[in-house]
Structure 1
Amino acid sequence: MSTATANIEGAGTGAESTYFSDFASALRYWRTRRGVSQLRLSTDSGVSQRHLSFLESGRSQPSRDLILKLGIALDVPLRQRNAMLLAAGFAPAYQERSLSDPELASVMQALEFMLRQQAPFPALVVDRLWNLVMFNEPAAGMMKWLLGMPEEAVIPRDGSVNVLRLMLSPDGLRRHLLNWEAVCADSLLWIQREAMADGPGSEATALLAELSILPGMPSAGHLPNLERRALPFLPLQIARDDICLNLFTTITTLGTPHDVTVHELRLESFFPADPETAAWFRERFGG
């Protein structure tokens, strides 16, 4: 089995997230992460600075409502708000449903509608770790074409394919990216942001470490040179079989979610950056 095929069929990192051992360290982490002083957080949350100091030192223990209030004030993602609650001995406040849950049927219908609307151009849905959960036919066709897979091959929709791992691996999609250095740097920044949000011991931290040591990868802190770009976006310059495609992508998230799974979904839509690329996709996937 080739590595490229293994990347399609392989599972995720499997790392378990430990996050923080106590609420005090979680609160200190998030306040520092947001660059907010205790005085500013006191003003934003309506909690006295003295009480915040006691919470961060462990001299005082928070109530469940106070944790949620501070999580909102610090704009902590839902998964990490649950982690803060667990660290303080409380049950999670936000559910994490499977996409197959009947209560998420309307969300699935909305995503499927957006995927169909994007055709003949590719679009896919990933979770916060960029595990593939949904895609339209042009996205599947593009992946199979780039990886040399047969048309009848099945691409899993269960999250077992990690898009970043598939794209950044030297014998995965990366070998077809003419500007792979810039794409790799941008991709590492995406997962680095998730790792910083999750804190130490998380799945995102493990994935970042795994991707960072792939051959030829820039450091996770490397920033692309924006001054050299003539376009207002990072193009995806793809080449295979004498065919050159120029694409750019947009990322869509679902607003006002109250479920961890929904909060973490991202819809990545690919758009042609030139008429030739648009014509290629219309001819191949226009039906």
Structure 2
Amino acid sequence: MTQQTEHELGSFLRYWRQQRGKSQFDLSLDSGVSQRHISFVERGRSTPSRELLLSLARTLDVPLREQNILLLASGYAPVHLESAWNTPEMAVVNNVVDRMLKQNEPHPALMMDRYWNVLRTNEAAPRFFGSFVDLSKWPKPRNLLHLLFDPEGVRPFVEDWNVVASGLLQRVYREAVGHVTDKKTKELLDDLKKYSGVRELSGSLKDVRDQAPVLPITFVRGNERFSYFSMISTVGLPQDITAQEFRIECMFPVE
């Protein structure tokens, strides 16, 4: 291992340990690896095996994509695939996704990647959002957050937009893969803050006036009001990066 590789590996492992709020001693107890060995790995004084790195990564709940980065930083080949959606391996997942999207008709349902880019929808979703704005002005893959935050998008039609936007920002952090905002997620948040009024949002939900079990999003068009809450679905035990990073958002009417 080169000195630079050792430094990258140590920094990467230390970063994830700190993200999980664990000391070297905590990680030692959870993983069964001696604290001394973990210290040596982080300081570049020990060359860890691939099995040891994967064991530490699983203990720290490091997402699959970042596990590959950890292996590469250690001089090993990645082990987790990132399959394309049209490969035979993804056929069973594709079938389930199509079924879930279709079964949510006549209400909108969307499949998104980890950065809220819409990858697939049922027929109701573009029909619903297209009733507020001309979706042809939004290049694919359309980003749901930009559509909801942009004053030229759906934002003017969202009731109590400040409250809804604060809740959505909380979701970005809560639903980030591995519960950590990576570089691209931070870039997405920075882009959202360029819209008027976003940077001033407190990120809290103190303005919510009732004790409803969910925070609905109400869209207003003339005298019509459409209130929805969302159910989010992810793969339970993903072994592929693509399978881990997508989610399905099904919108259900509140009333």
User: Would you call these one fold, judging by a TM-score over 0.5?
Assistant: yes
Query: Would you say the 8 A contact 1:212–1:220 is kept in 2?
Result: no
Take 1:256 and 1:221, find their aligned partners in 2: how far apart are those partners?
A: 35
* Counterpart residue number, 2:163: 182
Q: Report the secondary structure of 2:156's partner residue.
A: helix
Q: Report the secondary structure of 1:268's partner residue.
A: strand
Per-residue deviation, residues 38-81 of structure 1 (Å, max 9, x unmatched)? 22211111110111112222222322111110111011111111
> What is the Cα deviation at residue 229 of structure 1?
3.6
Take 2:43 and 2:165, find their aligned partners in 1: how far apart are those partners?
A: 40
* Counterpart residue number, 2:47: 61
* Counterpart residue number, 1:212: 193
Per-residue deviation, residues 103-162 of structure 1 (Å, max 9, x unmatched)? 21111110000111111111110010011111111111111112145xxx6987xx6211
Query: Would you say the 8 A contact 2:31–2:56 is kept in 1?
Result: yes
Q: 1:268 to 1:230 in 2, by over 3 A?
A: same
Take 1:88 and 1:223, find their aligned partners in 2: how far apart are those partners?
A: 40
Q: 1:50 to 1:190 in 2, by over 3 A?
A: same
* Counterpart residue number, 1:44: 30
* Counterpart residue number, 2:230: 249
1:92 aligns with 2:78: yes
> What is the Cα deviation at residue 221 of structure 1?
7.0
Per-residue deviation, residues 202-244 of structure 1 (Å, max 9, x unmatched)? 2222112111232111468722228744211111011012211
Take 2:18 and 2:200, find their aligned partners in 1: how far apart are those partners?
A: 23
- 1:24 pairs, out of 10, 20, 34, with 10
Q: 1:226 to 1:34 in 2, by over 3 A?
A: farther
Q: Report the secondary structure of 2:130's partner residue.
A: helix
* Counterpart residue number, 1:262: 243
Take 1:198 and 1:155, find their aligned partners in 2: how far apart are those partners?
A: 25
> What is the Cα deviation at residue 170 of structure 1?
1.4
Decide which moves more: 248-257 or 188-197. 188-197
Q: How large is the RMSD of aligned CA atoms in angstroms?
A: 2.4
Take 1:210 and 1:56, find their aligned partners in 2: how far apart are those partners?
A: 34
Once the two structures are superposed, the pairs formed by residues 225-240 of structure 1 within 5 Å of their partners are 225=206, 228-240=209-221
Question: Structure 1 regions of 5+ residues with no counterpart?
Answer: 1-20, 275-287
Take 1:211 and 1:98, find their aligned partners in 2: how far apart are those partners?
A: 28
Q: Report the secondary structure of 1:134's partner residue.
A: strand
Take 1:39 and 1:125, find their aligned partners in 2: how far apart are those partners?
A: 40
* Counterpart residue number, 1:140: 126
**Identical-residue share of aligned pairs (%):** 39
In the alignment of these two chains, the number of paired residues is: 248
Higher normalized contact order (CA 8 Å, seq sep 6+, divided by chain length):
1
Q: Report the secondary structure of 1:181's partner residue.
A: helix
* Counterpart residue number, 1:197: 180
Q: 1:178 to 1:88 in 2, by over 3 A?
A: same
Q: 1:142 to 1:88 in 2, by over 3 A?
A: same
TM-score (norm 2): 0.89
1:160 aligns with 2:141: yes
> What is the Cα deviation at residue 270 of structure 1?
0.4
- 2:154 pairs, out of 138, 150, 173, with 173
Query: Would you say the 8 A contact 1:192–1:205 is kept in 2?
Result: no
Query: Would you say the 8 A contact 1:186–1:224 is kept in 2?
Result: yes
